[in-house]
Structure 1
Amino acid sequence: MGFHHILSTCKLAQSDVDQFIIFVSKHGIQKLTLDMENEENYMLPNRIFTCATLTHLKLSRCFFRLPDGTRFPNLISLQLEHSKIIGHRVLEDDLNLPMLETLELRFCVDVDSVNLVSPKLDNLSIVSNYTTTFYYFTVNPIFAIIKHLCLNGTSLEKLGSVRVPNRLRWQLNLQSLKICDFKISVESISCVFCLLRSSPNLHEIEIHEVVKVEETLKDSAKLLSYLSMEEDRGE
């Protein structure tokens, strides 16, 4: 059983959508899509966090708080777009998703720094998150277990917003790495090298839509010098 609510032209009050959530949570809903395509972000009611039957959840333009002990026991897939956690404490809020296999974060704030308890998580996609850095790869347990990672060019830029390490403090379990909208620069390439060095089990890498930006041409000497140094390392 699935429920899809996409609001584009008409505008519903918060209370109206709350009634939808209450209704579907009482009727064994398994798949829920909530896309609030308007100027106001919708505050997700706590009732959704007690819906044990959910297996697939997609939220767009939603704000929400994580109640203590938040747990979706049967959720397999979670997609969050343009969403934000309110009152979030970095890596102190726990989100228990014991059956989760796929997590997609698109244009979200603070969601990636939640202490996610998901021992079965295999697939992680991060597109243009505002806070993701290599710091979270080191301290957030989800990055140690995922097997398939997808990033876009902007996400790589965010990873490199602070000093990029030569390799991470612990090894990743990545088997495949996919990068979309890749923009050539010393910073982005150094981020990719860091991921490669930290992923001994990696056997598949895809890079799509390589874009040469103006800065690449301006910094071509810097880029060539960096690549030459990497080649000399023999790594």
Structure 2
Amino acid sequence: MASELAPEDFISNMPDNVITNILHRLPLLDAVRTAILSRNWRFKWTKLSELLFDDIFFSYLLETKDENTFGMIVSRILLHISGAVTKSVLILSVLDVESIHHLILFLSKNGIKDLTLTSWTMPQLKLPTHLFSCLELKRLNVCGCRFNPPPDFRGFPNLLSLELRAVQFGDCDLGEFLTRCPLLEDLNLGYLSYTGSVKLVEIAKLKNLKILFLSVSHLETATTCNVFELVVHLPKLQELGLDFQDCRLTEGGVKKKLLTASPSLKALKFTSLDFGNGIVLSFALEVIRLFPNLQTLEMTAILQVPDPFPITIPIPVLEAEYNMAELRSVVFNYFKGSENEVYMIKYFLACSPSLKKIDIQRNWCLPPGEQLIFAKKLLKLHRASPVAEISFK
């Protein structure tokens, strides 16, 4: 009678794909620990297709285990995995070289498609050659490693997304490597992404690019004309990002004349902008004006300790009648309330009849009490769009 009244175990009786989906939402060690729940649950976790050996994973281990055992624990987990592993995040700094080679070899044989590799060791870790046999890769994110493909490497034929941060290339040239990834749609080469400069003619060969992020400091010559010519040769490009960290611009590098034909780029993102430097801001504004179909714009100020005696290089006066007809959303990050910043907000409000919202995230150095002062100043500005809102946080 008691057994007839016992509640049914709905969770354990769910389909395996549903249970695996639930386990993917747990930290990896918690997912592995479900093996002790019951005999029925002993091998549920072995069907995981995502292995996140990330900060959370190693932080858990550090509480109870010695760092010298991390490689052995990772190997034991790999030993029990029964299916394909399509996604993995690896913090390589805490593993010995043998464990790293074993782990990358395992992934190369198990259908890895989404891989993130991070290392903080110096000198930089040389990635195992097994990585370059992961031909099913669709997304690759590499941070702090030496990237040295073997001579017979023919590329990643299925790679759609590539992000490099603090990566040192070996014998293989970056441009040459990129040409071996014919399907690439998302390329992130921000500040300190790699050593060397970008040859725009090589990036222009990536005809499938939809998202591109570049560091201005890596460009061979930084002019708005070059930026325009690059985008013209990327017909599918939807979003362009430029990082201005440590860029060296001169007034001669700013193209004043607006080009007639313009690509249909929809989104621009600028990071590490020095709003006190009118030359840099003029460059950014001229890039914006190259793309009349622009719908979203995000500008992030450079993070730096406030200068008690700042020198502001003003922005040259721009034509107020210029029409940014499609612009709908503008975001300012780390707003300090400088004259140049206020001028730019005034400019966007006056030139954007379709604008819906300007989001302003204040910098930590701007006292909360000054928010009201700037809010009142901004509310008085003329707006070409009757529905434009300003959000100040």
- Shorter-chain TM-score bucket reads 0.7 to 0.9
Partner of 2:256: 166
Partner of 2:269: 178
Distance 2:140 2:87 in 1: 10
1:227 and 2:328 correspond: no
Preserved contact between residue 188 and residue 212 of structure 2 (Cα < 8 Å): yes
SS of 1:98's equivalent in the other structure is coil
1:108 aligned partner, one-letter code: S
Preserved contact between residue 61 and residue 83 of structure 1 (Cα < 8 Å): yes
1:57 and 2:149 correspond: no
Which of 121, 144, 151 matches 2:209? Answer: 121
Partner of 1:206: 298
Distance 1:168 1:215 in 2: 37
Select between 87-96 and 70-79 the one with higher mean Cα deviation.
Answer: 87-96
Inter-CA distance 234–120: structure 2 relative to 1 (3 Å threshold): closer
Partner of 1:79: 163
Distance 1:54 1:112 in 2: 24
Identity %: 24
RMSD: 3.7
1:218 and 2:311 correspond: yes
TM-score of the two chains, using structure 2 as the length reference: 0.47
Select between 198-207 and 32-41 the one with higher mean Cα deviation.
Answer: 198-207
Inter-CA distance 160–40: structure 2 relative to 1 (3 Å threshold): same
Give 5+ residue unaligned stretches, structure 2.
1-85, 324-393
Preserved contact between residue 143 and residue 172 of structure 1 (Cα < 8 Å): no
2:180 aligned partner, one-letter code: N
1:123 aligned partner, one-letter code: I
Which of 241, 245, 256 matches 1:150? Answer: 241
Partner of 2:287: 195
SS of 1:21's equivalent in the other structure is helix
1:183 aligned partner, one-letter code: D
TM-score of the two chains, using structure 1 as the length reference: 0.74
Which of 84, 93, 108 matches 2:193? Answer: 108
Distance 1:64 1:56 in 2: 16
Select between 157-166 and 200-209 the one with higher mean Cα deviation.
Answer: 157-166
Give 5+ residue unaligned stretches, structure 1.
none
Inter-CA distance 167–53: structure 2 relative to 1 (3 Å threshold): farther
SS of 1:231's equivalent in the other structure is coil
Select between 57-66 and 164-173 the one with higher mean Cα deviation.
Answer: 164-173
Q: Deviations along 1:50-81, whole A, 9 cap, x unmatched?
A: 32211111111112235577422222221211
Q: Deviations along 1:210-232, whole A, 9 cap, x unmatched?
A: 87964994245xx1xx422x338
Preserved contact between residue 137 and residue 144 of structure 1 (Cα < 8 Å): no
SS of 1:125's equivalent in the other structure is strand
Preserved contact between residue 32 and residue 58 of structure 1 (Cα < 8 Å): yes
Number of residues paired by the alignment? 225
1:187 aligned partner, one-letter code: I
Select between 84-93 and 193-202 the one with higher mean Cα deviation.
Answer: 84-93
Q: Deviations along 1:7-57, whole A, 9 cap, x unmatched?
A: 34x3523x5433332321122111111111222212234443332211111
Distance 1:150 1:56 in 2: 19
Select between 21-30 and 163-172 the one with higher mean Cα deviation.
Answer: 163-172
Give the alignment of 1:21-100 within 5 angstroms: 21-65=104-148, 67=151, 70-87=154-171, 89=173, 91=175, 94-100=178-184
Q: Deviations along 1:158-181, whole A, 9 cap, x unmatched?
A: 262672333698855421112234
Distance 2:138 2:156 in 1: 8
Comparing both chains, which one has the higher relative contact order based on Cα–Cα distances under 8 Å and sequence gaps of 6 or more?
1
Give the alignment of 1:131-150 within 5 angstroms: 131-132=218-219, 133-134=221-222, 137=227, 144-145=234-235, 146-150=237-241
Select between 207-216 and 142-151 the one with higher mean Cα deviation.
Answer: 207-216
Partner of 1:7: 92
Distance 1:89 1:53 in 2: 22
1:97 aligned partner, one-letter code: C
Q: Deviations along 1:105-150, whole A, 9 cap, x unmatched?
A: 2421237438244322111233x57423436647767974422022
Distance 1:71 1:143 in 2: 22
Inter-CA distance 179–54: structure 2 relative to 1 (3 Å threshold): same
2:138 aligned partner, one-letter code: T
Distance 1:234 1:210 in 2: 27
Inter-CA distance 118–205: structure 2 relative to 1 (3 Å threshold): same
Select between 96-105 and 203-212 the one with higher mean Cα deviation.
Answer: 203-212
Preserved contact between residue 79 and residue 103 of structure 1 (Cα < 8 Å): yes
Q: Quick check: which has more Rg, 1 or 2?
A: 2
